[in-house]
Amino acid sequence: MTDHDGRSALISGGAGQVGAAIAKALSEEGFGVLIGDLLEGEGNATASKLGDRVAFQRLDVTQPESWESAIDTAESTYGHLSVLVNNAGIIEPGSVQLQRPTQFKHVLNTNLYGAWLGIHCAAKSLTTAGGGAIVRVLSGQDR
């Protein structure tokens, strides 16, 4: 195990299978990990299962204040932010012909704007800490 005490990682969409696996791997490397997700029950269960180096906070990736709060929590709980994992994403399966414009906008707001917003909000923290890593995860249905 590499010692990353005093460093934190924030994982959006951390309540699903992919996010939980990333949280497990980072915590085993010594990072304090904050799982952020809208799914509070699943997020809390995942954090509890992974131990005291992992916590959960509700995160709406489409809201700047939600990102700022999560970054503040990660830093105050575990230390400076070293890793941002933009894992949150949704899909709206079905025919383009039947899909409503509001459904498409919801996908764009979560998958594109949400990822950009995470980077935008974390950039100052990562820079102040002397650098870090930003990882963007894209996958199919995770739940």
Query: Which string of DSSP letters, residue by residue, matches 88-129?
Result: ------S-TTT--HHHHHHHHIIIIIHHHHHHHHHHHHHHHT
Structure confidence at residue 112 as a pLDDT band (50, 70, 90): very high
pLDDT value of residue 143: 47
pLDDT value of residue 2: 59
Whole-structure pTM value? 0.92
Indicate whether 139 pLDDT > 80: no
What is the C-alpha radius of gyration for the chain, rounded to an integer number of angstroms? 15
Q: Which tens digit of pLDDT belongs to each residue from 58-107? A: 999 999 999 999 999 999 999 999 999 999 999 888 888 899 999 999 99
Containing 72, the helix (H) or strand (E) segment is helix 64-78
d(CA 128, CA 125): 5
- Residue 84 phi/psi, 5-degree rounding, is -115, 125
d(CA 23, CA 8): 11
pLDDT-above-70 percentage for the chain? 94
Q: What single-letter amino acid sits at 39?
A: L
Instruction: Give which of 11, 13, 10, 9 is closest to 111, Cα–Cα.
Output: 13
7-136 placed in CATH 3.40.50.80:
no
Determine contact, residues 34/70, Cβ cutoff 8 Å: yes
Q: Which tens digit of pLDDT belongs to each residue from 90-103? A: 988 888 889 999 99
